[in-house]
Amino acid sequence: MTKKRVLSGVQPTGNLHLGNYLGAIRNWVPLQDSHECVFMLADLHAITVPQNPADLLKNTRETAAAYIACGIDPKKSIIFPQSAVRAHAELAWILGCYTPLGWLKRMTQYKEKAGLSASSPERILKDLKDQKKIFTELTRQVHEGLDNIRLQADSKTITADITQGVLEINEEAAAFLESEIKISEKSKLGLFSYPVLMAADILGYHATHVPVGEDQKQHLELARDIAGAFNRACGEEFFPLPDPLIMPTAARIMSLKDGTKKMSKSDPSDLSRITLTDDADAIANKLRKAQTDTITGITYDPETRPAIANLLTIFAALTDSTPQKIADQYATAQNSQFKGDLAEAAVTHLSPITARMRTLLDDTETLDTILASGAHAARDLAQPILRETMKRVGFWQSA
Ligand code: ADP
Ligand code: TRP
C-alpha cells in the first residue's frame, strides 16, 4: 500500500518562534516515518502582506534551515519554496473558478488581516429587512392609539422609540457599508484568495493529511469544500478530501507579555516571543521579564492564571512532561527560581537547534542545493496532477 501523503508549510516571514516550533514544525518530525512528507516554505502566501524582497529571501533560507535543524530530514521529506513550483499558482487559478465568493468571505483570518468589521453583511441585511416589520407595527400601534385615549398619550413615546430604533439600524448599516467600501478599495485580491492557493498546495499533491494548528482549520475545511466542488463538476472523485492532522503533542503557546494572546511573529514586542535564533542570554532575559501574576506559588490554572499556565505549558513541552506535573514540582517555588529553571530547560533544548541553524545558514550553497532538489522532487509530484486536472477542465495540452 502507498504511504499516506502529508503536506504542510509555514510562511517564511521571519521571527520563527517557540509557538511555530512547538505548535507546528516539531510535530512534523515523527510523521516522516509513517507518511510521505512534503513541507513547503509558503512564500507565495507570505506576499499576501507587503514583504521586503531581501528579507523574504533571507527568511526563506532561514525557515528552511529551521525545518532541517528541528529534525525535518531532506533525505526523508521534500523541502522547497512554494514559488519554485509553478503548479501551485496555476492550480490556484483553476480552483478559484470553482470557489464561490461567499465561501471566501466567511474566512475569519481574511476579515482579521484585512481589518474588516466583525458584523456580517447578512446580519445588517436582516436588520434592514426587519425595518418593514417595525414600521408595520408602528402604524398598527399608532392607529390603535387613535381609538384609545390612554394609548394616544403613549403613542408619542412608541413613535419616538421606534424611530430611534430604525435610526440606529440605519446608522449601523451606513457605518458598516462605509468601512466595507473603504477596506475593499485598498485590500488586495491575494489576501482574499489566499485560502484558494492553500487548497491548491494541498490538492495539487493529492495530500491526504495536513498537520495544521487551530488557526488554519477553517482553511482546510475550505480546501475540502473546493475539492468537493471540483469533483462534482467533473463527476469523479479526482481530488482526495484532505484530513486535518491534529497533533496531540502540539502546544498552543501564548505571548510572554500577555498570557491571553497567541505568541506571534507579528507582535511588535520582541520580548513577547522566544525565537529560534535567540541566544542563551536573550532567552534568559525574555523569560525573566515574562508576565506572571501576584499570586504566591505556582499552580496550573489556565483560566485564572494564563501567564503562569503558559510558562508551565512551555516548560512541559520542552521537557516532555505535563504542565500539571511541573506545577506540582514548583508548587512552593519563587517565580524567579521557576523562571530560571525554565530558561535553563529552554536553552538546553533550543541551543542545539540554533547552532545547527547557524551552520546551515553559513553554508547557503548546501542549503540552496537542498531546496533545488526539493523543488525538483515537488515538481515531479505536482506536475502530473496538474496535467490531469487540466485534462478534466478541457484544456488543450501538448502530447
Ligand atoms: P504567526 O501567527 O506567528 O504569524 P503563522 O501564522 O505563520 O505564525 O503560523 C505558522 C504555523 O505555526 C501554523 O501552523 C500555526 O498554527 C503555528 N503557530 C503559530 N503561532 C503559534 C502559537 N503561538 N502556538 C502554537 N502554534 C502556533
Ligand atoms: N497558510 C499557512 C499559514 O499561514 C501556511 C500554509 C500555506 C499551509 N499552504 C499550506 C499549511 C498548506 C498547510 C497546508 O500558516
In tens, the pLDDT along 221-262 reads: 999 999 999 999 999 999 999 999 987 777 899 999 999 999
Cα 52 from chain centroid (whole Å): 21
- Out of 7, 13, 67, 215, give the residue to mutate to test ligand 1, the one with the largest number of ligand atoms within 8 Å of its CB: 215
Which pLDDT tens digit goes with each residue over 177-194?
A: 888 888 888 889 999 999
Q: Whose CA is nearest to atom 2 of ligand 2?
A: 10
CA 94 to each of CA 180, 186, 229: distance values in angstroms, whole numbers, following the listed order: 27, 25, 12
Q: How far is the CA of 20 from the centre of ligand 1 (A)?
A: 5
State yes or no: pLDDT of 155 exceeds 80: no
- The arithmetic mean of pLDDT across residues 134-160, rounded, is 71
Which pLDDT tens digit goes with each residue over 122-136?
A: 777 787 788 778 778
Cα 96 from Cα 103, distance rounded (Å): 11
Q: Whose CA is nearest to atom 4 of ligand 1?
A: 265
| Terminal CA-CA length for the chain | 30
- Residue type, position 283, single letter: I
Q: Whose CA is nearest to atom 15 of ligand 1?
A: 213
Better-scored residue on pLDDT, 156 or 50: 50
- Whole-number pLDDT of residue 363: 97
What three-state secondary structure class fits 49? coil
Cα 195 from Cα 100, distance rounded (Å): 12
Ligand nearest to the CA of 317: 1
Q: How far is the CA of 233 from the centre of ligand 2 (A)?
A: 26
- The arithmetic mean of pLDDT across residues 138-153, rounded, is 69
Which pLDDT tens digit goes with each residue over 8-64?
A: 999 999 989 999 999 999 999 999 999 999 999 999 999 999 999 999 999 999 999
Picking from 192, 6, 202, the residue whose alpha carbon sits closest to that of residue 91 is 202
Q: How far is the CA of 113 from the centre of ligand 2 (A)?
A: 15
- Whole-number pLDDT of residue 254: 96
pTM of the model: 0.88
Instruction: Dig out the grid coordinates for 44 from the structure.
Output: 507565495
Q: What is the dihedral of CA 90, 229, 218, 81, to 10 degrees?
A: -20
CA 153 to each of CA 136, 137, 150, 160, 164: distance values in angstroms, whole numbers, following the listed order: 20, 17, 5, 12, 18
- Whole-number pLDDT of residue 119: 67
Task: Calculate ∠ Cα 107-110-111, nearest 5°.
Answer: 90
Do the beta carbons of residue 67 and residue 9 sit within 8 Å?
no
Angle, nearest 10°, between helix axes 87-96 and 189-203? 110
Catalytic hit among 113, 188, 257, 325: 113
Ligand nearest to the CA of 212: 1
Cβ of 200 below 6 Å from ligand 2: no
Instruction: Dig out the grid coordinates for 308 from the structure.
Output: 503562569
Better-scored residue on pLDDT, 275 or 122: 275
- Whole-number pLDDT of residue 1: 45
Cα 23 from Cα 46, distance rounded (Å): 19
Angle, nearest 10°, between helix axes 335-362 and 280-288? 150
Q: For the chain, where are the alpha helices, taking DSSP H only?
A: 18-20, 26-28, 31-34, 43-46, 53-69, 87-96, 101-105, 108-114, 121-146, 149-186, 189-203, 217-234, 280-288, 306-319, 323-329, 335-362, 364-393
- Residue type, position 38, single letter: V
Strand partners for 292? none
Picking from 77, 66, 62, 84, the residue whose alpha carbon sits closest to that of residue 20 is 66
Cα 124 from Cα 173, distance rounded (Å): 6
Strand partners for 243? 209
Mean pLDDT value across the chain:
92
- The arithmetic mean of pLDDT across residues 371-377, rounded, is 98
Q: How far is the CA of 45 from the centre of ligand 2 (A)?
A: 8
**Ligand 1 atom with the shortest distance to the CA of 17:** 3
**Percent of the chain clearing pLDDT 70 (strictly above):** 96
State yes or no: pLDDT of 215 exceeds 90: no
Cα 197 from Cα 206, distance rounded (Å): 14
What three-state secondary structure class fits 7? strand
Question: Which residues surround ligand 1 with Cβ inside 6 Å?
Answer: 10-11, 19-20, 23-24, 212-213, 215-216, 252-253, 262-266
**Ligand 1 atom with the shortest distance to the CA of 11:** 7
Cβ of 14 below 6 Å from ligand 2: no
Q: Whose CA is nearest to atom 26 of ligand 1?
A: 23
Q: Whose CA is nearest to atom 10 of ligand 1?
A: 10
Do the beta carbons of residue 252 and residue 213 sit within 8 Å?
yes
Cβ of 43 below 6 Å from ligand 2: no
- Whole-number pLDDT of residue 220: 97
Residue 133's contacts (CB-CB under 8 Å, 6 or more residues apart) are none
Instruction: Dig out the grid coordinates for 209 from the structure.
Output: 493529511
Q: How far is the CA of 104 from the centre of ligand 1 (A)?
A: 21
**Sign of the C-alpha dihedral computed for residues 273, 277, 280 and 282 taken in this order:** negative
The answer to whether residue 265 is catalytic is yes
What three-state secondary structure class fits 197? helix
Cβ of 253 below 6 Å from ligand 2: no
Residue 275's contacts (CB-CB under 8 Å, 6 or more residues apart) are 15, 16, 17, 18
The answer to whether residue 133 is catalytic is no
